[in-house]
Amino acid sequence: MQTVHIDETNQGNRADAFVSNNFKVHSRSFLKHNWERLISINGQPGKPSYKLRKGDILEIQDEEVDKLLEEHSFGEIIPQHHTLDIKYEDKDFLIINKPKNLVVHPGVGNPKDTLVNYVVEYLQSKEEYDPRMERGGIVHRLDKPVSGLILFAKNAEAQLYFQKQFEEHKVEKIYLAKVEYGNDISGELKEKFPVQPLNASEELDKLVQNNFEVDDTWLKVEGYIGRSSINRMKMIFKTYTFNHGRSALSYIKPVSANEFLIIIKTGRMHQIRATIEYLGANIVGDTLFKTLKGGAVPDEIELESIFLCCNDMQGKRLINRLK
pLDDT at 16: 83
* Per-position pLDDT tens, the chain of length 323: 678 888 888 888 888 888 877 766 555 556 777 788 788 888 887 788 889 999 998 888 766 665 665 555 445 789 999 999 999 999 999 999 999 999 998 876 678 999 999 999 999 999 999 988 888 999 999 999 999 999 999 999 999 999 999 988 899 999 999 999 977 899 999 999 999 999 999 999 999 999 999 999 999 999 999 988 888 889 999 999 988 789 999 999 999 999 999 999 988 889 999 999 999 999 999 999 998 888 899 999 999 999 999 999 999 999 999 99
State how beta strands 246-256 and 259-264 pair.
Answer: antiparallel
Taking the whole predicted model, whether its pTM rises above 0.75 is answered as yes
pLDDT at 35: 82
Q: Which long-range contacts (CB under 8 A, 24 or more apart) does 208-215 make?
A: 208/309, 208/319, 212/172, 212/263, 212/309, 214/251, 214/253, 214/263
Q: What are phi and psi of 7, to 5 degrees?
A: -115, -170
Gap between the Cα atoms of 281 and 275, Å rounded = 9
Q: What are the structural domains, with CATH classification, of the chain?
A: 2-71 (3.10.290.10), 86-167 (3.30.2350.10), 172-321 (3.30.2350.10)
Q: Is residue 90 within 8 Å of residue 48, measured between CB atoms?
A: no
State how beta strands 317-321 and 303-311 pair.
Answer: antiparallel
Partners of residue 222 on adjacent β-strands: 249
Q: Is residue 104 within 8 Å of residue 141, measured between CB atoms?
A: yes
Q: Is residue 42 within 8 Å of residue 52, measured between CB atoms?
A: no
